[in-house]
Structure 1
Amino acid sequence: MTVTTDAKTSGGGEAPPPEDLVSLTIDGAEISVPKGTLVIRAAEQLGIEIPRFCDHPLLDPAGACRQCIVEVEGQRKPMASCTITCTEGMVVRTQLSSPVAEKAQRGVMELLLINHPLDCPVCDKGGECPLQNQAMSTGSADSRFDGKKRTFEKPVPISEQVLLDRERCVLCARCTRFSNQIAGDPMIELLERGALQQVGTGEGDPFESYFSGNTIQICPVGALTSAAYRFRSRPFDLVSSPSVCEHCSVGCATRTDHRRGKVMRRMAAEDPEVNEEWLCDKGRFGFRYAQRPNRLTTPLVRDPETGELTETSWPEALAAAAAGLTAARERTVRDREADVRTVDATGTGVGVLAGGRVTYEDAYAYGKFARVALRTNDVDFRARTHTAEEAEFLAAHVAGRGLDLDGTGLSHTAVERAPAVLLAGFESEEEAPGVFLRLRKAHRKHGQRTFALATHATRGLEKAGGTLLPAAPGTETEWLDALSGGVGLDERGAEAAEALRAEGSVLIVGERIAAVPGALTAAVRTAAATGARLAWIPRRAGERGAVEAGALPDLLPGARPAGDPGAREQVAYAWRVADLPSGQGRDTGAIIEAAAAGELHALVVGGVEVADLPDPARATEALEAVDFLVSLEQRPSEVTDRADVVLPVSAVVEKSGTFLNWEGRARMFEAALKPDQMTRRHVQPDGRVLHMLADALDVSLALPDVRATRRELDRLGGWDGSRAAAPRHRTRSAPQPGSGQVVLAGHRMLLDQGRLQDGDEALAGTRHAALIRVSAPTAEAFGLVDGAEARVTGPAGFVQLPLCVTSMPDHVVWLPLNSTGGGANRDLGALPGQLVQVGPAPAPAAAPVPGATDASAKKVEA
């Protein structure tokens, strides 16, 4: 038998020319593979499974365990098949045809089992353990060892999330190689030598990696276990369902393992085109928010007499919601007839905020509900800071484009292969960890150049071998224009401008750059001038799909401009309505402002947190000012506290749907927990709730389930008319700090106070430290000391954290936006790019002297 393989079966790409192939024989079967292919991979392509522990296709070869020994003709002794590459004419015999290889493998297995504990019944790996399987296939039924097995104190917490049982470890070095090579976090290593060698961390150096959970999954023997999952279930008691991560826009493939209607753990699934075999800790462990004791399971309606929310039935709750929304619309009509100054001139007095966590189908339902049931374009998913320019950018350069939309979109593979990447308003490790892993891999494999417009070089940028282009908040537009023209640049900027002109280079803009006037327009110009391909990567999983679904005031589904009569006619025909509202819709900020000012009398809010909004204080005023508030939520929040009707909705694990990831790739998933497995049978998907609410309003939404929604989206298709005009160039000067002032900068950390991280204390324990960052000259000017407490003060209050003196622009202070208190936006009353004050934290007040009177205590305190 002769088998010829191409590069696609060996890792992707076009088939190599014949001169790049080598032919060899394995167990009598001839095979041709690309040069450089490992023997163990060639055997796999023939269906020959060679036992192994240390080998992993995405890690560099180590030859640490010696379990994969084979016999190679012409060699003096057996060799590890995971470290030798195929050569022309090579003859290999595995354990299937070589008594020498079989004996060597059995000998290695016997040595591994000498000290390995026989604790399979209590080991988390028991039932899915490669050591168990290979001990059965390669080991001996009897042991010649009659001594005392080595034991260690157990478990050793190498972080709050990862626990180590040292006696189980077979020293395969998978965990240490992953941490060093893939994640770039060399925080765990093999310590000591010989029989005492073991996995460990440095003194006082915990395993604070965003990717630590991968070491648990790839550990072949259960030496590394999860603090959150340890002893909670047996693998053979679990039901596994394929799923998609709901946390960021990468769209990682996952596997949800559940038992008796409760999710027990989540694992990374293999998807070479997206996340390969990796998953960040947020995606792996951040699922318990849906299992919290305060989960909303029954509709709530506010009692007009007591003012308290009381449980009720779905029909009663929907009727109350419909009555409140109808009353708000009728009041708007009366205001308009009476020419009241605060009249809603274009809408119907109701605004819809969908949030960025919703699925593609649910976002479509929010947009359709607003336009068909409420007759308004006041709908927006962007619960974050943005300028009016962003809507034009999304319409012209994002909507309708992508791998599964028109086939023109960028992919993870294209980013990995790019010779140079420029990041603008985007921190990959914090906002899209899967993209970070691609950037780091590209830097290791082919020396990719990564440049970042940011205040300082983050840990993620340094691990990807990146170069900082120091940009104070508000200067990104000038930076991008300089890069496109190649003038006015320092040495690093000139290198970036030149690198971006290489074929295949990529310019990635994050959602934060939308807060800088003119920056998105400048990014478009830079991409056109340099030839770099432009990609928009938002932070939340649902944002890309919400753009395509039309959950925006200026966009209808399928990238149709809401202001185009032909586009409205197409959608109206598909929706079987006479027409669609034509007035100019409000974005999130305008909806909040209109509600606070009395122009909107009701709001429908789905999964939006007040702390996420640009002005939390004003948002709170808006929620309290409206006559009627409907909340679609999973758990109590500041919105539900003020809502008149609360409708409980499903978590991702409880429903079917689709996330469009940043590539525009459809990531479909089915419900892991079926209704008959759930104790929370009263919750419904957002789309289903809106469908029922529309029925209560005597309007047909025709979206009873996710399949009906998908069929309607398929019928609508995409827009083939004229595209929206390119965004106009809007800029404003960066703020100039006055005496005692600095410019605020910041972004959200991957692990912070986000609501979808609630419920896992071990996950919270691996957060990176929250710090205030300023430059050395700024620290000196304001009397700040590295490592001491510093205080940033804004119009509403202050944030106090330890200071880290960092190489960054002067007169700028950087903060994590949602890691402490109520979040920097709320606590300070300021947004990034605005002016704040910074100074040393005041000394803590002295404790009162025991037995002292109030007057004497005050004197001591003074």
Structure 2
Amino acid sequence: MTTTQPTPATQLVPLVEVTIDGFTTEVPKGTLVIRAAEDLGIAIPRFCDHPLLKPAGACRQCLVEVAMPDREGTLRPMPKPQASCTLEVSPGMVVNTQMTSEVADKAQEGVMEFLLINHPLDCPICDKGGECPLQNQAMTAGREVSRFHGVKRTYPKPISVSTQILLDRERCILCQRCTRFSDEIAGDPFIDLQMRGARQQIGVFDAEVLGFTGSSPVGPAELDESGQPFASYFSGNTIQICPVGALTSASYRFRARPFDLVSAPSIAEHDACGAAIRVDHRRGVVLRRLAGEDMAVNEEWVSDKDRFAFRWQAAPDRLLAPLVRENPDGTGDLVETSWGDALDVAATLLAQRRGRLAALPGGRLTYEDALAWSSFTRGVLGTNDVDFRSRAYGSSEEADFLAARVAASGIGVTYGDLENADVLLVGLEPEDEAATIFLRLRKAVLAGGTRVRTVAPFLSRGSTKMHATLLPAAPGTEPEVLASVTELGGEGRLGVVLVGERLAAVRGGLAAAAELATRTGARLAWVPRRAGDRAAVEAGLLPQLLPGGRPVADQAARAEIAAAWGAPVPETPGRDLVGILAALASGELAGVVIGGVELSDLPDPDAARAALEAVRAAGGIVVSLEVRASEVTELADVVLPVAPPVEKAGTFLTWEGRPRRFDEVFETPARSDAEVIRMLCDELGVTLTATEPQLWRGERVALGAAQPGPVPAPGEGQAVLATWRLLLDAGRGQDFEPHLAGTARRPVAMMSRATADALGVADSPTVRLRGPRGEAEYPLVVAGVVDGVVWVPADPRDFPSTAHLGVRAGEIVEVAK
């Protein structure tokens, strides 16, 4: 059972003495009776109660007998049993649960009998059968034989709350867990109580029935792909906390029985939040994922992406055997071969080009894999030309920022810190880019412990749900806005600046954020989007950075790392991603080892594609380490398959710097990146230890003052593009999840009324955006966006990405009807 961890604040709360089933204990004032009983190891049956939701007293299953002292101190019993999930302890209270009170036991039996009157006896086909609290408590707190002989109430079933969530209303016991989660935790009105009395039921969102007429709680930009106002990234949590089988998953429904499944704890791989999950599988196939419990990180909640997007790891295009080009000159088709042959070909070609090679390891790596890539690049390829970033960034400013503020900094700002902080978000939309952070911030804001401000072109729905204050900024003007912030923190709150990776594309943005933190005494945290980005920084997968946060130019650092790895470290700082691609295209580099990189994620996908094609045309080599076939696969000479997270063990590092260790779920022949690199080193005759170096930290790299770049001025028929990736989009980690894809938000183009009028598109239902490489048409939504700016999602389904339009955030795009 989940219990709330004590904090310094709660330790000062006065203690209250209470007696439960003859045991006397002291608990903090305000503790619910049901929690006090838990502390004594006494389990009271319940359905509506949940430790992370407000008390509701909806199911009445937790009735207990209570006596209270009167003014004279005489103990007087309450006239009827009380709901222990809503009653707070008071001095001298005496409670008798079903364990010691016939009154409480009979009351619980009566409630259970009422709940079962209309509940269907369909346990053999119910997804909840075998792990159902109603089943369990019907046996412990119910009658042996039913006295009801009438016809049970039925409803048409199931109702599609969304493409992912299905509702069987006759199973619902009206505990209201789902509606309370939606309102209190996620802030999304996608499911609620409808009607009253005997007709009351849980139903799908209906603006008229739910009383939202006149002011839709969901903005026009937050419709799902069907055009319905379903707008929740967290709906799957309602399935898990439902104490019966009323809410089920369309992707899991009727697929398995809980007692057929094998469960394994793991860590979600889709972002840098490190949410704990539980993987349930049968016969080598993952059938579902549930939220794990970790009160320090994700508590008991995960996003729908973390919950439902897992089939990519066993996709039909999964690489299971090494591939090599048929002809020695690099022409011909890729053909399957043995590991020995593939490693021999790769080792021979790499050895011939040593010193003229580069590495692009991507952002999917565990810490162990990242260290292996770092030692392999320096000690075997003989180069510092390495960059893990597979996204847009502006200049060397981000690399300096990561060296100065992130690398080897250990655990900095934590989730717990966010619960009593004055938080400034810059280049970060938590609901889309770091869902676990969003839930923690919203919880803290509603509790009154946190204030949120966001530097953004408009107030997104996620920011609205956090009651955030908007500091309006057109793309490129963030440094100017940050310079105007005079205070952060105070009034007992910690000042925190959360910087998203997108800010790296704004010249002077990261330096301005660092200056703000220094000026106000606030703490600064970098929030990347990928699960492996923080580990890549710590492992030194940057051209000027070594493991442990020390610069390549540091001779002592090079010597110590060389001694630890058993291989020399090049002394010249290398090229970054853009420089590596340019050198590949020009022939300065003769090959690249690349892993986990989607070309569409790079700043210029066409240039990246042309660079890899140029390498092969010039007789160079492209070695790919990848889980699934991709564009890179088709351009590679040697393809070495690596294991997805479910088939390997490792450690992700969260945005906090917190290690999140996970074990393999399946034992398969698949090999991790580190194991493949070790095999390749053996083939090359090189022995690398690749052990974790000490996190040396001498004098920090100096971060220069903010030097904002020029802000483009749109001309006639033009606007400045603002964009970021939505949580659910065209990313390959969501492939083969049609039910989840149906809940993705509808791609739209958003701009202010003044901008729409100036562009002459205010009366048009759609607008056409045109860039240097292409164009796309989007539904138009007029909203409170900064004037002169148009926002579109970066990589939506069924629409061209902004990269394929040839524009990035902060650049000019043409807008027309």
User: Would you say same fold, with TM above 0.5?
Assistant: yes
Residue 623 of structure 1, aligned match among 612, 620, 629: 612
Pair 1:584 & 2:577 matched: no
What secondary structure is seen at the aligned counterpart in 2 of 1:604?
strand
Pair 1:51 & 2:45 matched: yes
Partner Cα distance (1:813, 1:690) in 2? 45
Pair 1:295 & 2:295 matched: no
What secondary structure is seen at the aligned counterpart in 2 of 1:452?
strand
Alignment partner, residue 554 of structure 1: 544
Alignment partner, residue 517 of structure 1: 507
Pair 1:761 & 2:738 matched: yes
Partner Cα distance (1:60, 1:326) in 2? 64
Partner Cα distance (2:240, 2:764) in 1? 36
Residue 383 of structure 1, aligned match among 382, 385, 390: 390
Spell out, residue by residue over 1:753-776, the C-alpha distance to the aligned partner (whole angstroms, 9 max, x if none). 111111111111110111111111
Paired letter, 1:296: L
Alignment partner, residue 453 of structure 2: 451
What secondary structure is seen at the aligned counterpart in 1 of 2:5?
coil
Tell me how far 1:499 sits from its aligned partner: 5.5
Paired letter, 1:641: E
Partner Cα distance (2:752, 2:489) in 1? 28
Partner Cα distance (2:372, 2:764) in 1? 50
Contact 2:408–2:697 under 8 Å retained in 1: no
Spell out, residue by residue over 1:418-467, the C-alpha distance to the aligned partner (whole angstroms, 9 max, x if none). 1x211000001000000000111111101522111111111100000011
Residue 717 of structure 2, aligned match among 740, 760, 781: 740
Partner Cα distance (2:46, 2:517) in 1? 47
Paired letter, 2:453: F
Paired letter, 2:32: L
What secondary structure is seen at the aligned counterpart in 2 of 1:379?
coil
What secondary structure is seen at the aligned counterpart in 2 of 1:552?
coil
Alignment partner, residue 138 of structure 1: 141
Tell me how far 1:9 sits from its aligned partner: 6.1
Alignment partner, residue 662 of structure 2: 669
Spell out, residue by residue over 1:554-594, the C-alpha distance to the aligned partner (whole angstroms, 9 max, x if none). 111121221100111110110122x3101121111111111
Partner Cα distance (1:694, 1:787) in 2? 60
Pair 1:363 & 2:361 matched: no
Residue 249 of structure 2, aligned match among 216, 223, 226: 226
Spell out, residue by residue over 1:311-340, the C-alpha distance to the aligned partner (whole angstroms, 9 max, x if none). 1000111111112223333xxxxxxxxxxx
Pair 1:399 & 2:407 matched: yes
Residue 285 of structure 2, aligned match among 258, 262, 265: 262
Alignment partner, residue 373 of structure 1: 380
Alignment partner, residue 529 of structure 2: 539
Contact 1:247–1:283 under 8 Å retained in 2: yes
Contact 1:245–1:252 under 8 Å retained in 2: yes
Cα 1:790/1:18, change in 2 over 3 Å: closer
TM-score by length of 1: 0.89
Paired letter, 1:525: E
Contact 2:450–2:493 under 8 Å retained in 1: no
Tell me how far 1:87 sits from its aligned partner: 0.6
Residue 434 of structure 1, aligned match among 433, 436, 440: 436
Tell me how far 1:365 sits from its aligned partner: 1.1
Pair 1:826 & 2:816 matched: no
Alignment partner, residue 528 of structure 1: 518
Spell out, residue by residue over 1:381-404, the C-alpha distance to the aligned partner (whole angstroms, 9 max, x if none). 11011221011111111111132x
Tell me how far 1:503 sits from its aligned partner: 4.2
Unaligned 5+ runs, structure 2: 68-76, 207-226
Partner Cα distance (1:728, 1:604) in 2? 35
Contact 1:634–1:651 under 8 Å retained in 2: yes
Partner Cα distance (1:54, 1:787) in 2? 48
Alignment partner, residue 72 of structure 2: none
Partner Cα distance (1:826, 1:446) in 2? 40
Alignment partner, residue 659 of structure 1: 652
Partner Cα distance (1:297, 1:603) in 2? 22
Tell me how far 1:702 sits from its aligned partner: 3.5
Cα 1:170/1:442, change in 2 over 3 Å: same
TM-score by length of 2: 0.93
Alignment partner, residue 332 of structure 2: 307
Cα 1:827/1:500, change in 2 over 3 Å: farther
Residue 35 of structure 1, aligned match among 29, 32, 38: 29
Tell me how far 1:166 sits from its aligned partner: 0.7
Paired letter, 2:547: P
Paired letter, 2:667: K
What secondary structure is seen at the aligned counterpart in 2 of 1:617?
helix
What secondary structure is seen at the aligned counterpart in 1 of 2:312?
helix
Pair 1:694 & 2:690 matched: no
What secondary structure is seen at the aligned counterpart in 2 of 1:44?
helix
What secondary structure is seen at the aligned counterpart in 1 of 2:114?
helix
Paired letter, 1:318: L
Cα 1:821/1:133, change in 2 over 3 Å: closer
Paired letter, 1:63: G
Paired letter, 1:249: A
Alignment partner, residue 796 of structure 1: 773
1:77-92 residue pairs with structure 2 within 5 A?
Answer: 77-92=80-95
Tell me how far 1:207 sits from its aligned partner: 3.5
Cα 1:728/1:89, change in 2 over 3 Å: same
Spell out, residue by residue over 1:248-302, the C-alpha distance to the aligned partner (whole angstroms, 9 max, x if none). 1110011111111111111101100000000000000111001211211111111
Contact 2:363–2:530 under 8 Å retained in 1: yes
Contact 1:453–1:476 under 8 Å retained in 2: yes
Residue 643 of structure 2, aligned match among 644, 650, 666: 650
Contact 1:158–1:206 under 8 Å retained in 2: no
What secondary structure is seen at the aligned counterpart in 2 of 1:22?
strand
Deviates more, 1:508-517 or 1:686-695: 686-695
Cα 1:18/1:158, change in 2 over 3 Å: closer
Paired letter, 2:383: T
Unaligned 5+ runs, structure 1: 1-7, 330-347, 404-408, 487-496, 676-680, 704-711, 841-862
Tell me how far 1:356 sits from its aligned partner: 0.9
Deviates more, 1:424-433 or 1:559-568: 559-568
Tell me how far 1:551 sits from its aligned partner: 1.2
Partner Cα distance (1:139, 1:191) in 2? 28
What secondary structure is seen at the aligned counterpart in 2 of 1:176?
helix
Tell me how far 1:728 sits from its aligned partner: 4.3
Pair 1:573 & 2:563 matched: yes
1:87-102 residue pairs with structure 2 within 5 A?
Answer: 87-102=90-105
Cα 1:317/1:130, change in 2 over 3 Å: same
Partner Cα distance (1:120, 1:374) in 2? 60
Paired letter, 1:472: A
Partner Cα distance (1:9, 1:482) in 2? 42
Tell me how far 1:195 sits from its aligned partner: 2.2
Alignment partner, residue 493 of structure 1: none
Contact 1:393–1:727 under 8 Å retained in 2: no
Residue 465 of structure 2, aligned match among 459, 463, 466: 463
Alignment partner, residue 221 of structure 2: none
Alignment partner, residue 215 of structure 1: 238
Alignment partner, residue 633 of structure 2: 640
What secondary structure is seen at the aligned counterpart in 1 of 2:256?
coil
Residue 163 of structure 1, aligned match among 146, 161, 166: 166
Pair 1:351 & 2:358 matched: yes
Alignment partner, residue 223 of structure 2: none
Contact 2:357–2:591 under 8 Å retained in 1: yes
Alignment partner, residue 848 of structure 1: none
Deviates more, 1:157-166 or 1:812-821: 812-821
What secondary structure is seen at the aligned counterpart in 2 of 1:747?
coil
Partner Cα distance (1:609, 1:400) in 2? 28
Pair 1:324 & 2:324 matched: no
Alignment partner, residue 776 of structure 1: 753
What CA RMSD, in Å, does the superposition of the two structures yield over aligned residues?
1.6
Spell out, residue by residue over 1:777-829, the C-alpha distance to the aligned partner (whole angstroms, 9 max, x if none). 11011111367111111111112110111112211111111114575333211
Pair 1:608 & 2:597 matched: yes
Partner Cα distance (2:149, 2:736) in 1? 46
Pair 1:70 & 2:64 matched: yes
Tell me how far 1:731 sits from its aligned partner: 2.3
Partner Cα distance (1:501, 1:598) in 2? 59
